[in-house]
């Protein structure tokens, strides 16, 4: 099989390209670092002939800094994906695996003692300023307990990156319906591991903590450190892409999978594990917050296990110990 991997020189894309090649497939690399932009129709027309499957990893990532980032996110993630899909249709490429994200959900699922399963809205700035980080039931204001969220939950993107990842899913669904192609969206949860980009305003929290420790600084943990996430190793994510590449999803529609470890941990636990593996300094809990962040997001990974045969293999402790010493990638 001939597989184009967009973003093939990036953090996740480089691991995906390696996994595809190790499985015996031919990789067609396509990456901005090599002058290949998914918004460039001519570059796509040179690369797509003969391709059987596109694994689309290229994207502008991270929460963003402020609204000034909106044009860049829309240009790369939305317009770039539209250009890629149109080029795939021109060249008769009928299979797509799309890198999506858990950020499309917004807040995760919660259970209220009086109202059952609920989805809280965005947290108020006033509450965050007073250290009230946990959401409450939108119906009665009572405390709620976080629960796992499945792929059928309605999306509720809270920032520019999340909105553009959801737009990518919608475009992929449009493409599949109009061409009869097969499209799979993998909603990655918090990916970490070797080659993760260094500390930038757009880096994930694991990279920010790892960069601080490498510089001899204590990781600064926002809120109270109790935010729950599912940290999934990048090699497991690459394996999930390989599983999706070998799957036979129904044509003409988008099939969505959570890609997660299935063993959630708090952000504070992750910072402590990295610090312990490097011998300190210990994390500092700051009480600071980012308005676009959500409190808890925990995946239900059963669909990927049942339909793709994918189950994460790298455990939290082993993965964090490796990551604490692993080389970081470029910014």
Residue pLDDT, tens place only, 19-71: 999 999 999 999 998 889 999 999 999 999 999 999 999 999 876 667 888 99
Total-model pTM? 0.95
Instruction: State the DSSP code for 151.
Output: T
Region 274-295: mean pLDDT is: 94
Residue 144 belongs to some domain of the structure: no
Residue 52 belongs to some domain of the structure: yes
Closest CA to 187 of 302, 305, 102: 102
How many residues in the chain?
A: 331
Give the contacts of 295 (CB within 8 A, at least 6 positions apart): 107, 108, 123, 133, 134, 135, 146, 223, 227, 228
Residue 286 belongs to some domain of the structure: yes
Alpha-carbon distance of 303 to 190, in angstroms, equals 18
Structure tokens at 316: 């939290």
Residue pLDDT, tens place only, 116-134: 999 998 899 999 999 999 9
Residue 118 belongs to some domain of the structure: no
Residue 125 belongs to some domain of the structure: no
Beta strands in 48-154 (DSSP E): 53-56, 95-101, 109-112, 116-118, 144-149
- Does the structure show a pLDDT above 80 at 150? yes
Domain count, the chain: 1
Residue 282 belongs to some domain of the structure: yes
Residue 263 belongs to some domain of the structure: yes
pLDDT score for 27: 98
Cβ atoms 165, 79 nearer than 8 A: no
Residue 139 belongs to some domain of the structure: no
Region 227-238: mean pLDDT is: 97
The total of other beta-carbon atoms located within 10 Å of residue 145's CB is 11
- Does the structure show a pLDDT above 80 at 303? yes
Q: What is the CATH number of the domain that holds 254?
A: 3.40.50.720
Instruction: State the DSSP code for 130.
Output: T
Task: Look up the domain containing 304 and give its range.
Answer: 2-108+149-325
**Helix (H/G/I), strand (E/B), else coil: 209:** helix
Mean residue pLDDT across the chain: 95
Structure tokens at 197: 């980009």
């Amino acid at each position: 099989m001939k597989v184009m991997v967009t973003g093939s020189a990036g953090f996740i894309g480089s691991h995906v390209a390696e996994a595809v090649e190790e499985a015996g497939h031919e990789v067609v690399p396509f990456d901005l670092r090599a002058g290949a932009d998914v918004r460039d129709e001519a570059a796509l027309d040179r690369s797509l002939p003969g391709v059987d499957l596109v694994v689309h990893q290229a994207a502008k990532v991270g929460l963003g800094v402020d609204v000034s980032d909106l044009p860049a996110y829309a240009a790369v993630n939305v317009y770039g994906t539209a250009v890629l899909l149109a080029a795939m249709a021109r060249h008769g490429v009928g299979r797509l695996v799309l890198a999506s994200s858990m950020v499309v959900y917004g807040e995760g699922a919660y259970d209220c003692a009086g109202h059952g399963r609920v989805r809280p809205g965005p947290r108020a700035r006033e509450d965050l300023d007073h250290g009230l980080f946990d959401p409450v039931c939108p119906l009665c204001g009572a405390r709620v307990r976080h629960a796992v969220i499945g792929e059928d939950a309605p999306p509720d993107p809270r920032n520019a990156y999340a909105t553009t990842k959801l737009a990518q899913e919608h475009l992929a669904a449009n493409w599949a319906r109009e061409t009869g192609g097969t499209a799979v969206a993998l909603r990655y949860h918090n990916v970490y591991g070797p080659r993760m980009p260094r500390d930038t305003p757009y880096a994930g929290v694991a990279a920010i903590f790892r960069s601080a420790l490498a510089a001899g600084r204590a990781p600064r943990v926002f809120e109270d450190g109790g935010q729950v996430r599912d940290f999934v190793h990048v090699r497991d994510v690459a394996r999930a892409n390989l599983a999706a590449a070998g799957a036979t999803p129904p044509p003409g529609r988008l099939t969505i999978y959570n890609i997660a470890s299935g063993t959630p941990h708090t952000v504070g636990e992750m910072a402590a594990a990295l610090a312990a593996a490097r011998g300190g300094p210990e994390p500092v809990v700051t009480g600071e917050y980012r308005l676009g962040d959500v409190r808890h997001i925990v995946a239900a990974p059963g669909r990927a296990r049942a339909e793709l045969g994918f189950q994460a293999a790298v455990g939290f402790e082993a993965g964090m110990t490796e990551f604490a010493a692993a080389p970081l990638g470029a910014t």
